[in-house]
């Protein structure tokens, strides 16, 4: 037989494009339009109903960037359309950009009840499935003129309403009443399913040719000048090939409706409120027509927004949950970044998410649902299980640039040994459209073939929202069992996980440690002020909860600020969303984030001050929110003061605190041949004429030199930074090919000469930028602080601070949530080489046997660690990634002034790094207060207290969360400074698991490495 495949396929493509698809809506009448342009930010529908509307004609431009226009649509169903399927079809000027990345709208009825969202792939609203004829139509369209920001990563000022200009973005095309010809519509879907499947089948397979010939017969039966009249006959020619069942061995797909809605990204937070409303209206409307629909939806914050702003849609969601069409998933407040949130914050993501779903919808969610976050901390398996989650899902690892993940269904093992059953859908998208190419890829790509047969496919328009469409549901019906395709079953994600576990759970492989994304490494650094706001807010919340709990225990009349702390926590958790905290959102988002963090910190400072004021009279006293005792120098009343204070306690300032105390306590500075030498009883630090560290000697280890031979420390290095595409996201490896060392100093000046503290100030200028750094060494401290002020005016550059260390380290240890992870310092394998930029929280440590050095920071997450040969062996260079300057999606990313601190800690063990990292991030507070014994304390320094608060149920119980922080086993006793009537171990939601073990001294704790333990203490 002659091969005429391409001729038939070409004939089919033209017939569908020119004749069949246009025939879906053959009869149309335009609706009358009028418009009211909202004068600023979005308004409630009640205000729009009261607006003054002016006549509006199709073809008219509308919509300055980020504005909202309300359109009244009016008309009447023609009598001649009686008995036919009538719809309103709206096109406010959709462009080629996909749903969620341009104009969007929500249709309301005449009384203001929301009906359905519209977007480029979902433009209709059904007026009547069988019209009576003559029905009036009165609708209100809330149309958002959202600009398409991300165009080839070119710089644009469209990303902030203040800089976007006033030029209208869209031209309103049409708003019609139209008759949907259901035979033609179904024919289109039949053809699409078969054509897509045909193209995925190998040309030598008979099934491909059977489909081709059926499509050819369909074309022969179709009169292209009377498509509606011949569509039924054309469909009949396809019935047999559509009825062929799938093979018994076909891959099985559990399909869950989905609409990934970034809580902020290329739009501000306020727009996400509306995106969620549009999408959720679509889904609840779709469920009425397709009872098999299951919509998996995460992010409790978005539910809360809809509950507040769209009560009608909220009621429809509750009904859909009750009816089984809606599956709350994810267990988290938002789909957060999974690298940078602190340990307690990540726990609270789960606490607030789980609690919302339980209290508002009666659902105990059982999975972590993070398809799009940029890598996943090795602390997650334990946190998931402690929150009552059984499953974990991610999709993002399919973006790896170097190494392909070897598993799709596996056990993920965390740093403490906890495992969680995990699925990584082989379809490699969380926005499937049920295209045959996607399903075929899922089957071919599935790593567990032969051992398992089941994978998950989330389907629906996403990122900017949109969700499933009726066309997707129709395709799913055709694909339920179709020869040549995987079997498709729409069901809840939980049903998939149960089936996958039953099939493969006992034999599934194990992946141990972090799920590192080999891409988007710059998200540890971009938008430094957003990251700093997060870090400081996390620690301010820790401090506020501690002192509020102390005040409540000491003063029965004190009202613990439950509502305020709950609200603030949710604000901080929201800003940990995986495009806010990573710095990959538009300028508007980060401008508002900076403003929000400033308000949060101000409010928390007030909450803490009021709580401290209720502790009693006394003082001034120094208060320590760290669980470790501290001996530090602080500024008080215009002078430096030396203080000693227990962990989680308060101690009055000593009368002689302005002088050094302790054996050999001192801090002194000398000038030697242009170099400045800073010294105390632990360190001798030499700052050379260029303002660089020429020598750091550890006096506690026999004067050991910390820096590598011939190298200088705190060397600022500037690299060009031009990622291949994802500007804000990526730090591509080629950035390291070119480097400028910033060695020239404008001034090097001794600014403090002791006896409690010595300091050297160094000023440098480079490009259009200026940096001022102050080295500080305090009496009694083994830590050299580097206080840094930068006026950053660079373009597409990355700034690093390098510390070449005389330490032969095979691996680095970086703090993560509730512990640390080790990463190789070499690049032996592709997996090692791909980790050329890594994330650390408050500290990163490198060590050889018997000696280690840590770098601490108060707001920096990005680091790199390399092996550096020198004249006497092999050293290790640790660099902190301080600032970037990408142009997209924010063209002025990080420009302006920055203030942060990092520190060098020679001779550091893991415990030293933990304690000093906390000290750097929790500055001592001096306030009028009495002496206060630690609220709770633990007698093993390997056990770190993470948080102390009152229980969320307002019982007055005290909740203490702690963990083993050094990677070993710990046996300890916890004591409280208040009488305790009883204690339980609980899950993260403070639900009792078992009674806590007790002895005469207190609660006895036996912890495995990195174990997290939550205790609930009942005050007597």
Q: Are strands 811-816 and 843-848 parallel, antiparallel or unpaired?
A: antiparallel
Q: Give SS3 for 378.
A: coil
Q: Count helices and strands (H / E) in the chain.
A: 19, 55
Separation CA 477–CA 472 (nearest Å)? 9
Q: What element of type H or E holds 799?
A: strand 797-805
Task: Answer for the pair 641, 660: CB distance below 8 angstroms, yes or no.
Answer: no
Q: Using alpha carbons, select from 61, 63, 87, 73 the residue that is nearest to residue 173.
A: 61
Residue 828 DSSP class: S
Separation CA 996–CA 1017 (nearest Å)? 9
Q: Using alpha carbons, select from 65, 256, 49, 37 the residue that is nearest to residue 148.
A: 65
Q: What is the CA radius of gyration of the chain?
A: 32
Respond yes or no: is residue 957 known to be catalytic: no
- Would you tell me how many other CB atoms lie within 10 Å of the CB of residue 82? 15
**Helix orientation angle between 470-479 and 269-289, rounded to the nearest 10 degrees:** 50
Q: Of how many residues is the chain composed?
A: 1020
Residue written as tokens 């399913």?
A: 193
The verdict on whether omega for the bond into residue 72 sits within 30 degrees of 0, i.e. cis, is no
Q: Which residues contact 409 (CB under 8 A, 6 or more apart)?
A: 421, 422, 423, 424, 448, 452, 454, 455, 500, 504, 508
Q: Which residues contact 675 (CB under 8 A, 6 or more apart)?
A: 686, 687, 688, 689, 694
For 201-268, where are the E strands, in sequence order?
A: 252-257
Residue of 160, 190, 372, 894 with catalytic role: 372
Reading the block at residue 84, the tokens are 């036919």
What are the beta bridge partners of residue 696?
A: 685
- Would you tell me how many other CB atoms lie within 10 Å of the CB of residue 67? 22
Q: Are strands 970-976 and 1003-1007 parallel, antiparallel or unpaired?
A: antiparallel
Q: What element of type H or E holds 919?
A: helix 910-921
Task: Answer for the pair 840, 859: CB distance below 8 angstroms, yes or no.
Answer: no
Q: Which residues contact 246 (CB under 8 A, 6 or more apart)?
A: 481, 482, 483, 484, 485, 486, 487
Tell me the CB-side half-sphere exposure of residue 72, using CA atoms within 13 A: 17
Task: Answer for the pair 237, 221: CB distance below 8 angstroms, yes or no.
Answer: yes
Separation CA 678–CA 776 (nearest Å)? 9
- Would you tell me how many other CB atoms lie within 10 Å of the CB of residue 852? 21
Tell me the CB-side half-sphere exposure of residue 826, using CA atoms within 13 A: 7
Separation CA 700–CA 715 (nearest Å)? 25
Task: Answer for the pair 73, 32: CB distance below 8 angstroms, yes or no.
Answer: yes
Separation CA 449–CA 408 (nearest Å)? 10
Residue written as tokens 């990092």?
A: 902
Task: Answer for the pair 926, 620: CB distance below 8 angstroms, yes or no.
Answer: yes
Q: Give SS3 for 363.
A: coil
Task: Answer for the pair 526, 839: CB distance below 8 angstroms, yes or no.
Answer: no
Between CA 696 and CA 704, with CA 698 as vertex, the angle to 5 degrees is 90
Separation CA 345–CA 571 (nearest Å)? 11
Question: Catalytic residue numbers?
Answer: 372
């Amino acid at each position: 037989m002659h091969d005429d495949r391409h001729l038939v396929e070409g004939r089919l493509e033209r017939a569908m494009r020119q004749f069949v698809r246009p025939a879906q809506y053959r009869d149309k009448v335009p609706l009358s339009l009028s418009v009211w342009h909202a004068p600023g930010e979005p308004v409630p529908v009640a205000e729009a109903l009261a607006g003054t509307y002016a006549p509006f004609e199709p073809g008219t431009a509308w919509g300055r960037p980020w504005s909202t226009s309300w359109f009244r649509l009016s008309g009447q169903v023609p009598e001649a359309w009686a008995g036919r399927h009538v719809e309103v079809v709206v096109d406010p000027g959709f462009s080629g950009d996909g749903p969620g990345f341009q104009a969007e709208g929500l249709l309301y009825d005449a009384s203001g009840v929301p009906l359905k969202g519209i977007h480029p792939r979902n433009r209709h609203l059904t007026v009547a499935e069988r019209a009576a004829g003559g029905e009036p139509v009165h609708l209100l369209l809330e149309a958002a003129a959202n600009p398409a920001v991300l165009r080839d990563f070119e710089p644009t000022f469209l990303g902030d309403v203040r800089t976007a200009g006033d030029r209208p973005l869209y031209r309103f095309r049409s708003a019609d009443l139209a008759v949907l010809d259901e035979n033609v519509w179904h024919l289109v879907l039949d053809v699409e399913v078969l054509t897509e499947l045909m193209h995925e089948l190998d040309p030598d397979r008979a099934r491909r040719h059977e489909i081709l010939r059926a499509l050819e017969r369909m074309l022969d039966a179709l009169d292209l000048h009377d498509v509606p009249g011949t569509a039924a006959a054309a469909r009949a020619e396809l019935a047999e090939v559509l009825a062929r069942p799938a093979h018994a061995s076909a891959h099985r797909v559990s399909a869950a409706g989905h609409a990934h809605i970034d809580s902020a990204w290329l739009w501000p937070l306020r727009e996400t409120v509306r995106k969620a409303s549009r999408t959720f209206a679509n889904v609840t409307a779709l469920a009425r027509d397709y009872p098999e629909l299951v919509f998996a939806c995460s992010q409790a914050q978005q539910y809360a927004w809809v509950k507040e702003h769209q009560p009608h849609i909220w009621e429809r969601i509750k009904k859909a949950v009750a009816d089984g069409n809606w599956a709350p998933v994810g267990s988290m407040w938002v789909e957060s970044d999974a690298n940078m949130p602190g340990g307690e914050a990540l726990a609270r993501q789960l606490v607030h998410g789980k609690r919302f779903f339980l209290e508002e919808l009666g659902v105990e969610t059982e999975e972590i649902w993070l398809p799009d976050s940029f890598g996943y901390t090795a602390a997650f398996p334990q946190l998931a299980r402690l929150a009552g989650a059984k499953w974990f899902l991610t999709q993002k690892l399919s973006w790896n640039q170097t190494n392909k993940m070897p598993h799709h269904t596996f056990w993920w093992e965390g740093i403490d040994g906890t495992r969680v059953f995990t699925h990584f859908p082989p379809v490699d998208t969380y926005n499937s459209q049920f295209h045959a190419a996607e399903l075929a890829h899922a089957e071919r790509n599935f790593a567990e073939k032969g051992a398992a047969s089941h994978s998950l496919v989330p389907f629906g328009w996403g990122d900017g929202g949109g969700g499933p469409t009726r066309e997707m549901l129709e395709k799913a019906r055709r694909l339920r069992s179709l020869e040549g395709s995987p079997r498709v079953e729409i069901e809840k994600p939980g049903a998939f996980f149960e089936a996958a576990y039953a099939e493969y759970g006992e034999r599934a492989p194990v992946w141990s440690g972090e799920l590192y994304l080999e891409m988007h490494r710059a998200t540890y650094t971009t938008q430094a002020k957003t990251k700093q706001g997060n870090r400081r807010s996390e620690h301010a919340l820790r401090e506020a909860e501690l002192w509020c709990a102390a005040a409540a225990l000491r003063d029965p009349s004190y009202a613990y600020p439950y509502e305020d702390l709950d609200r603030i926590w949710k604000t901080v958790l929201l800003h940990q969303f995986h495009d806010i905290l990573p710095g990959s959102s538009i300028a508007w988002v980060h401008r508002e984030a900076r403003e929000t963090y400033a308000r949060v910190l101000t409010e928390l400072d007030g909450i803490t001050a009021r709580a401290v004021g209720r502790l009693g009279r006394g003082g001034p006293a120094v208060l320590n929110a760290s669980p470790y005792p501290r001996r530090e120098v602080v500024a008080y009343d215009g002078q430096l003061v030396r203080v000693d204070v227990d962990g989680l306690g308060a101690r009055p300032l000593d009368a002689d605190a302005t002088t050094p105390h302790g054996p050999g306590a001192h801090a002194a500075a000398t000038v030697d041949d242009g170099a400045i030498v800073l010294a105390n009883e632990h360190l001798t630090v030499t700052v050379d004429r260029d303002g660089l560290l020429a020598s750091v000697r550890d006096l506690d280890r026999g004067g050991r030199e910390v820096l590598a031979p011939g190298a200088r420390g705190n060397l600022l290095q500037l690299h060009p930074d031009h990622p291949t595409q994802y500007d804000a996201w990526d730090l591509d490896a080629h950035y390291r090919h070119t480097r400028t060392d910033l060695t020239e100093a404008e001034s090097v000046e001794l600014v403090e000469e002791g006896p409690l503290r010595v300091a050297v100030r160094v000023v440098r200028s480079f490009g259009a930028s200026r940096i001022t750094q102050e080295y500080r060494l305090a009496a009694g401290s083994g830590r050299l602080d580097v206080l840094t002020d930068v006026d950053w005016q660079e373009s597409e550059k990355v700034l690093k601070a390098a510390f070449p260390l005389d330490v032969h380290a095979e691996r680095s240890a970086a703090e993560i949530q509730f512990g640390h992870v080790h990463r190789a310092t070499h690049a032996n394998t592709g997996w090692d080489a791909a980790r050329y930029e890594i994330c650390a929280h408050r500290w990163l440590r490198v060590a050889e046997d018997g000696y280690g050095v840590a770098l601490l920071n108060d707001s920096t997450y990005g680091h790199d660690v390399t092996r550096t040969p020198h004249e006497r062996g092999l050293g290790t260079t640790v660099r902190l990634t301080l600032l970037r300057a990408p142009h997209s999606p924010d063209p002025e990313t990080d420009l302006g002034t920055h203030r942060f601190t990092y520190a060098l800690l020679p001779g550091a063990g893991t415990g030293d790094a933990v304690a000093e990292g906390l000290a750097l991030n929790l500055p001592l507070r001096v306030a009028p207060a009495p002496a206060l014994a630690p609220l709770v304390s633990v007698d093993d320094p390997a056990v770190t207290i993470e948080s102390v608060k009152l229980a969320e149920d307002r019982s007055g119980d005290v909740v203490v969360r702690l963990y083993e922080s050094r990677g070993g086993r710990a046996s300890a006793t916890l004591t409280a400074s208040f009488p305790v009537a009883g204690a339980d171990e609980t899950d993260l939601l403070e639900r009792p698991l078992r009674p806590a073990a007790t002895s005469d001294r207190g609660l006895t704790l036996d912890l495995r490495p990195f174990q997290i333990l939550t205790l609930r203490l009942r005050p007597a």
